[in-house]
Each structure stands twice: as C-alpha cells, then as structure tokens.
Chain A
Amino acid sequence: MKSSFIGRVALVAYLVIFFGYLLGPLFVMSMTAFNSSAFPSISPWACYTYEWFDVLFKDERILNGIRNSVIIGIGTVILSVSMGLAAALVLTQVWPKFRSTYYTIIIAPILIPGVVLGISTLVFWDRVSNFLGPSTEAFLHNGIFLTVLGQSTFIASYAMLVFVARLQRFDPGLTEAALDLGATHTQAFRKILLPFMRPAIASAAVLAFLASFENYNTTTFTFGNYPTLTIELAQKVRYGINPSISALAFIIVMLTIFAALANEAYRRNKQRNEDARLKGVPRKAGRVLPSFLTGNPAAIIFVLLSFVVITMFWTAQSYDPGECKARVLAEKQALAAERIEALRQQRFQQRLEAAHSGVDIFGRSTVDPTVTEAPAAPESNGAFGGVFAPTNLNSTAPAAEPESNPGGAFGGVFAPTNLQGTDGN
C-alpha cells in the first residue's frame, strides 16, 4: 500500500519533470513575446505588450523567408510523397533476396546527417552543372531546386515509412479484383489504391511539409539566394536576438496546439460516431453541449483555447502598454540615476583619494570619459526623461505616446552609446 503510494508520487514527479523539460522552454519562450523588455526574458517582467508582433509582421526578411519556405515545402511535398509512395509500393513487390538491401538503401537517408546530405547535394549538382556547361548553371544553382532535392532525399524516407505502415493493411486482392473486372492498371491505381492510401498520403504530406519547413542542417548548404524561414531564424538567433522571434514562436506553438487538438478532436468524434453506429444507436446531442463536444476533451480544450486567442486579438486592438512602459521607464531612470549617483560618489571618493596620493588623473579620464563627465549625465537624462514625465504623472491621457516608436526610444536610453552621446554635448 505504502510502496504503491510512493510509486505513484515518483511517477507523477517524473512525469512533471519530463513534461517540464519538454514543454517548459516553449512556454517560457512564448511568454517572452509579451514582455516589453528588449531582450527576450520573463524576469524581470517589464510590461505586457503586443509590440513584438508588430515588429515581426513588419520584418521583410521573415516574410520573405516564409514565402520561400512555403514554395520549397510544396516542392518537397510533391517530390518526396511521390517518391516515398513509389518506393513503398516497390518494397511490397521487390524480389525477397533484395528486400533487405533495398530497405537499407531507402532508409539510410534518415540516418545520414543532414549536413552531409546538404553538402553532397551541393557538390553533386555543382559538378553536373560544370559538366553540362554554363547554360544550365542558373537552374542547377537555384537555391529552391537544390533545397527541394536535398530535403526530399531524406523526407521521402519518412513518407515511405508512413506508406509502408498503411500498405501492410492493403489487400492486393483488391487491385487484382479491379483488373479482373476490366480496369487498366492506371484505373486500378487511381480508383482502388489511391483512395485507400489517401489518409496516409495526407499525413505523409503534412509530415513532409513540416519536416521541410523546419529543416536547417541540409538547407543551410543549399539555400543559395532563397533563405527559408528557418535559415532566417537561425541568422537572427545567432547574431542578435529580439523578442519578435518569440512572437513568431508563440504563433507557431499556438498553430501546432490547435492543429494537434483539432486532429485529436476530429478523431475522437469520428471514433465515437463509429462506436455509436456499430451499436446501432444514434448519438444524441447533450442537453448543454453540441454533440461533437460531449465526451471529447480535446474539442472542449480547442474551443476554450479559441476563446482565449480571440480575446487576445480583441484586447490587442485596444490594449496599450504605454502607461506601464512609462512607469517602467521611470523606475529604470530612477534606478539609473541612483546608480550614477552612486558611481559619482565612488568616483568622487576615488578622485579625492587620487588627488591625495597624486596618481595621474588624465590617464583615467581618457580611458573612461563617462567618469569625468558623469555629473552631466543625470541632467541631460533628466531633460530627456522630462518628455515622459507628464504622462507618468497624468495617467488619464496615455494614448498620445505609443505613436513614437517606443522600443527605440527607451531601448536607447540605457545603451552605452546614448550615454556617450549625451557626454558629447
């Protein structure tokens, strides 16, 4: 009894840790999209804001990346799904002696590092274009062409696995029956096999598109002049972060959650209908909830989450973080003033000591001009901050503020360049 209790506690603790590891980072990242702090973080929490979504939607490179990703994704889906399906069909018919060799070859791309696939694609087509002459170069060096080929090399393996699983439940007798009834092979394929494979084709296509969309390792060698979203993201993440990436992440997380829930709800509903049909009892709608919601937690969560998102959209139209920002700014200014005051005190002490002991002052002041000019800083800062001061006090009229690019305004205040700039006056 006691040991089973400990076991349950251990299980729950383990599940919490596991899912915390899995979902926690995504949650934190999503939250940072709503923090006005210029660096993505949730602590310290500054202001709740939607501004990073604006920044995101105005980012040409991101939008261009999405466009390229979609084009490449569609190409990859078409190529890898058709190759995967053909390969799976051949697998069911291949001469038994060759089966394991054949399977090894078509499964290998999953295991080959993506970097290697990208390089080999690049090297191979470079040689092909050298061989064929410069007229083909434009086409063969096209980033879209190379990326589609490079990604399809391994994504087709994933598609193939999906098809093999589905084909195991296909009765080849159905194709034979169609042929026997006078259908041509093409008709039998189109009317019998294809409808049977349709769910698998749909899931393989979704899988292929997502795999293509998020691929980095292969694409980074082949993208040429067509950077995908993932490439752009990687550039941004490596060379400078701002929370607009979090905003994008939040959108992707939400889309994923919605898609997963919708899929789950649909499957649950379908299964329940099936059960009801087999029992021969028509499903009755619940008194309160429509029938697709009864006993379908995924559908309920889906609907609730939709409300949350709609509410967010709605508030985003009217919500204005200006007041909060001004307050935070004021706090920061106060903090900065405090620090600078402290610094000045310290310098003053040091100078006193230095003067006392006769250590050279000029050397120091050239190395760090802020020290000598420090007294000027609070004043100019104060003048700058004075613009905001009325808003701060007069909280009834905050609406005038957000027009002036707030991120830049107060992001700049504390940047060292700004401090130096004021020094220059």
Chain B
Amino acid sequence: MSVGVGVNLENLWIRFGDFVAVRNANVNINGGDFFSFLGPSGCGKTTILRAVSGFLDPSEGRVLIGGNDMAGIGPNKRPTALIFQNLALFPLMKVWENITFSMEVKGASTAERRKRADELLDMIALEGQGDKLPSELSGGQKQRVAIARALCAEPDVLLLDEPLSALDLKLRQHMRTELREIQQRVGITFIYITHDQGEALTMSDNVAVMRAGVIDQIGTGHEVYDRPATPFVASFVGENNVFRGKVHEISGTQALLETNRTGLLRAEITPAAIGKLNVGDDAMMFVRPEALAPVGATVPEDKTVIPATVLNEEFEGNSYSVFLEGAGGKEIKMSLPNLGQDPEASKGSELSLTYDARNAVVMPAGELASE
C-alpha cells in the first residue's frame, strides 16, 4: 500500500449517439494521489468515472490502471471500487454483510467476514453497529459504511462519485477531513468527482476542471484557484470579478488591459496563456473579491484604482461581502475580513478600490461558467 497504482486516460473519447460526453481527455493520475474531477453537472465527469470503473466502454482511447490497458475487462475484474452518489448500500443486508460483500462473492467464510467487518467498523467508528440495517443508520454513518464496503474489496483505486452531496453542510465539512485522513492512512489512489469546488480544493492533491466534456485545466488546488487556465475555470472555481477588454500593452509576465468601462487595468498573464496573448486581442481579467481593498489615505503609485459606489453589504460572520457599482454600471464584489470593527463601507458611500496586479490574472476572452 505504499506507492499506489496510477491511472492514465489516453485520448479518451466517449460518445452516446451523437452526443459527445468526453472529448479527448488525457489525464495522468499518480499512484497514491487524491485526484478530483471538478465541474458543473453534465460536464462528463461521472462518465469518466464510469469508464474507469468499467461500466462503459470508451468510444476511443484507452484507460490504463497501473499501466495495464483495461479494455474488455468488466467492472468486477478491475482493481477499482466505486462509492456511488446515492451510496447504493444493499437495503436488505445488514451493515456487516454490506461491508464484506466483496468477500462473500469470493466465498469467504462467515467467521472471516465477521472478523474483517469488525476491523472496518472500528476504523469508521461504528463499533457494534454491524447487525443494523442500513435504513437504521444516519446519513453520515451510511456514508462511512459505503467507504468501508469499498475499502473491504482492497481496491488499488477508490472512485468516489459525489459521495457527500446528500449530506448537510456541517457533516459534509466533517466528512471532507475524514476522507482525506482515510486516504492518507490507506495510501491508495482516490479519484473524486464533485461539483463543489470547496471539496475539491480542500482534499485534493490535484484537480481537473471539466467543462462540457473537455478538461480545461489540471493542477493543484492553488494553481487552479490562483492561476486559472481559462475564463471558465476562473469563473467556476471560487468567486471572481471579471473585466472584459482589449490587450493594451504587454510587459514581461504582465499585461495592461483596456476595459470598456473601467479604464486601464493591470494583471499577471496566466501561465497557460503566456505567449498566446498579443496586443489588441480580446481578453478578460479576473480579480478575486478578497484581492480587492478600499484605498487607504494614500494611493500607491503603481496600483490601479477603480472608483465605485457601495450598493449593499452582507455580513457573513467571518467576512463582509460588499456589492459595488463601478463606472457604467459595472457590478463589482469585494470581500473584507471581519476584524471586529464596522467596515468603512456604508451604503451609498463612494470608494476607490485597488488590488495588487500579482493577484489578478488576464487571459484570452472565452466562455464563462453560467451561474
């Protein structure tokens, strides 16, 4: 269990009739990684998971697990275990029978299965609950039983299809940590599917962001969040203010964008777009709400200033969200940490906003994630 088994997708295409669910996916997942596919519903991420687990054949390309081509190998012969979105616990079997189902089909004795079930129940902190039926467990307990059942099969790769989506917020946050801990303990490869960027960012070593069958970016959580490769990734992962315009000037890794309403804005060119952006191109600049700040008493020379009027503010506990209107009706959102004082921004007041150009990215214009 030390190194773990890697998974490779090579030029993977999956079609249903005329519909292309996955378009030329190339992914290398290292053994022992916690790897997430992040994307809105219908982007093809579950399809990829089903191709890895063996429930459907790729139309083109290959799925390799541990370097072996999986073509023609059924789901029951692959070294994977899948945790279903609705968990798919067997309702008529007791918890311990659920957990050790993979041993039952291999013909293990009841005593062996009981023993293994007890070990796994210990691990998921459900000691002594093995004789219950799944319907008698709470949502979080069912979740853990599903994980134990999958681990009992001793897979090389664990596949998780939005397993936390049915839980409430508190439990979801708790399970994130727990999942990550389990992964580190057992050391096998986890492939995780989610539409929740929070889950993807907190747990994963690497994230692939998908849009309509296409993988837009693969990287660590930091890379995806701070240096999004496409406007879609920038707008889908976390919140972002977007400014459209034309490239006015390029200097090193930075560019100056001439926007329609807000004037000239400076930002880093995102790594994926370096060399692809020329003066005069249509481009988009993204700056996170938390990267914006009101200008203090003195305006720093090298920083851009955006004048705006406060429309509204929402208190969110650890922070304030301030909604502003820039020149020409441009909507801007700013996030301020709650430092125990009233924010300076009160409704209707005029502010000048500024940001560090290193915290903003510019890239060729493209499709945004729809809300």
Contacts and interface: CB of A to CB of B under 8 A. Distances in A.
Q: Do A and B interact directly, with beta carbons closer than 8 Å?
A: yes
Interface string A187-222: 100011001100000000000000000000000000
A181 B155 CA distance: 9
B82 A180 contact: yes
B173 interface: no
Given A181-B81, A181-B149, A192-B90, A176 B75 contact: yes
A180 B53 contact: yes
B101 A179 contact: no
A177 B75 CA distance: 9
B291 interface: no
Chain A interface SS verdict (over half) = helix
Interface string A157-191: 00000000000000101101111111111010001
Nearest to A187: B105
Contacts of B92: 195-196
A187 B75 CA distance: 14
A181 B84 CA distance: 12
B153 A182 contact: yes
B106 interface: yes
Given A182-B153, A183-B101, A177 B84 contact: yes
Given A178-B101, A179-B74, A183-B76, A171 B88 contact: yes
A405 to B, nearest CB: 58
Interface string B131-174: 00000000000000000011011000000000000000000000
B304 interface: no
Contact of B55 (A176, A185, A187): A176
Given A181-B105, A191-B104, A176 B84 contact: yes
Contacts of A179: 55, 74-76
A180 B74 CA distance: 9
Interface in B81-96: 81-82, 84, 86, 88, 90-92
A178 B139 CA distance: 21
Contacts of A181: 76, 81, 101-102, 105, 149-150, 152-153
A56 to B, nearest CB: 44
A182 B102 contact: yes
Contacts of A196: 91-92
Contacts of A171: 86, 88
A182 B86 contact: no
A183 B104 CA distance: 9
B88 A176 contact: yes
Contacts of B76: 179-185
Measured as residues with beta carbon below 8 angstroms from the partner, the interface class of chain B is 20 to 34
Given A187-B105, A191-B104, A180 B86 contact: no
Nearest to A178: B101
B51 to A, nearest CB: 13
Contacts of B8: none
Contacts of A180: 53-54, 75-76, 80-82, 153
Contacts of B75: 176, 179-180
Contact of B105 (A174, A182, A195): A182
Contacts of B81: 180-181
B105 A184 contact: yes
A187 B82 CA distance: 18
Contacts of A191: 101, 104-105
Contacts of A185: 76
Contacts of A184: 76, 105
A174 B102 contact: no
A330 to B, nearest CB: 68
A191 B105 CA distance: 9
Contacts of B82: 176-177, 180
A173 B55 CA distance: 11
A349 B81 CA distance: 107
Contacts of A192: 90
A195 B133 CA distance: 15
Nearest to B82: A180
A176 B83 CA distance: 11
B105 A183 contact: yes
Contacts of B153: 180-182
A195 B104 CA distance: 16
Nearest to A175: B88
A181 B104 CA distance: 10
Contacts of A183: 76, 101-102, 105
A192 B90 CA distance: 7
A171 B84 CA distance: 11
A21 to B, nearest CB: 43
A171 B134 CA distance: 15
B57 to A, nearest CB: 15
The residue in A176, A185, A192 that gathers the most chain B C-beta atoms within 10 A of its C-beta is: A176
A361 to B, nearest CB: 90
16 contacts: A171-B88, A174-B88, A176-B75, A178-B101, A179-B55, A180-B53, A180-B54, A180-B75, A181-B81, A181-B150, A181-B152, A182-B153, A183-B101, A183-B105, A192-B90, A195-B92
Given A176-B55, A176-B88, A180-B80, 6 more contacts: A180-B53, A181-B81, A184-B76, A191-B104, A195-B92, A196-B92
